[in-house]
Structure 1
Amino acid sequence: MPEQNLNKLIEQYLEYLEVEKNCSLLTIRDYRHYLTRFSQWLSPTSLSPSVKKIDLETVKKYRLYLAHLSRGQGLTLSRQTQAYHVIALRSFLRWLIKNDYEALSPDKIDLPKMESRSLKFLDADQLTRLLNQPSVGNIRGLRDKTILETLFSTGLRVSELVGLNRETINLERREFGVIGKGRKARVVFLSESAADWLGRYLKERLDSWKPLFIRYPKKVDPAVDGEKMRLSVRSIQRIVEKYVKKAKLPMKATPHSLRHSFATDLLIAGADIRSVQEMLGHKNISTTQIYTHVTNKQLREVHEMFHGKGK
Structure 2
Amino acid sequence: MILSTLITDFLEYLELERNASQKTIQNYDHYLRRFLEFAGDIEPQKIDLNLIRKFRLHLSRWSDPKTAKSLKRVTQNYFMIALRAFLRYLARQDIDTISPEKVELGESEASPIKVLDPDSLASLIEAPNVLKKDGLRDRSLLELLFSTGLRVSELASLNTDSINLDRREFSVVGKGNKERIVFLSDSAAKWLDQYIKSRKDSYRPLFIRFQGKLSLIKDGEEMRLTSRSIQRIVEKYVKAAGISVKATPHTLRHSFATDLLINGADIRSVQEMLGHSNISTTQIYTHVTNKHLQDVHKAFHSGNEPRE
Superposition TM-score, scaled by structure 2 size: 0.89
Cross-structure match for 2:260: 266
Q: Distance in 2 between matches of 1:6 and 1:224?
A: 44
What value does the CA root-mean-square deviation take over the aligned residues? 2.3
**Letter of the 1:247 counterpart:** A
Q: Distance in 2 between matches of 1:50 and 1:77?
A: 28
Cross-structure match for 2:71: 77
Superposed counterparts of 1:291-306, under 5 Å:
291-306=285-300
Deviation at 1:120, TM superposition (A): 1.1
SS at match of 1:178: strand
SS at match of 1:286: helix
Q: Which runs of 5+ in 2 are unaligned?
A: none
Distance change (3 Å), C-alpha of 1:114 and 1:182: same
Deviation at 1:50, TM superposition (A): 3.5
Distance change (3 Å), C-alpha of 1:134 and 1:76: farther
Cross-structure match for 2:104: 110
Q: Which runs of 5+ in 1 are unaligned?
A: none
Contact 1:71 1:77 in 2 (8 A): no
SS at match of 1:173: coil
Identity %: 57
Asked whether 1:33 is paired with 2:27, we answer: no
Cross-structure match for 2:3: 6
Distance change (3 Å), C-alpha of 1:214 and 1:79: farther
**Letter of the 2:4 counterpart:** N
Question: Which segment is superposed worse, 247-256 or 64-73?
Answer: 64-73
1:90 counterpart (84, 98, 105)? 84
SS at match of 1:62: helix
Q: Distance in 1 between matches of 2:229 and 2:99?
A: 39
Deviation at 1:49, TM superposition (A): 4.3
2:191 counterpart (185, 197, 202)? 197
Contact 1:176 1:187 in 2 (8 A): yes
Q: Distance in 2 between matches of 1:100 and 1:214?
A: 49
SS at match of 1:287: helix
Contact 1:207 1:222 in 2 (8 A): no
Asked whether 1:222 is paired with 2:219, we answer: no
Cross-structure match for 2:59: 66
Deviations 1:151-192 (A, max 9, x none): 100011222212222211111111110122232221110011
Contact 2:120 2:243 in 1 (8 A): yes
**Letter of the 1:65 counterpart:** H
Asked whether 1:51 is paired with 2:48, we answer: no
Q: Distance in 1 between matches of 2:58 and 2:48?
A: 15
Cross-structure match for 1:124: 118
1:42 counterpart (36, 39, 43)? 39
1:166 counterpart (155, 160, 170)? 160
Cross-structure match for 1:246: 240
Superposition TM-score, scaled by structure 1 size: 0.88
Deviations 1:100-135 (A, max 9, x none): 112222222211111022221111101011112222
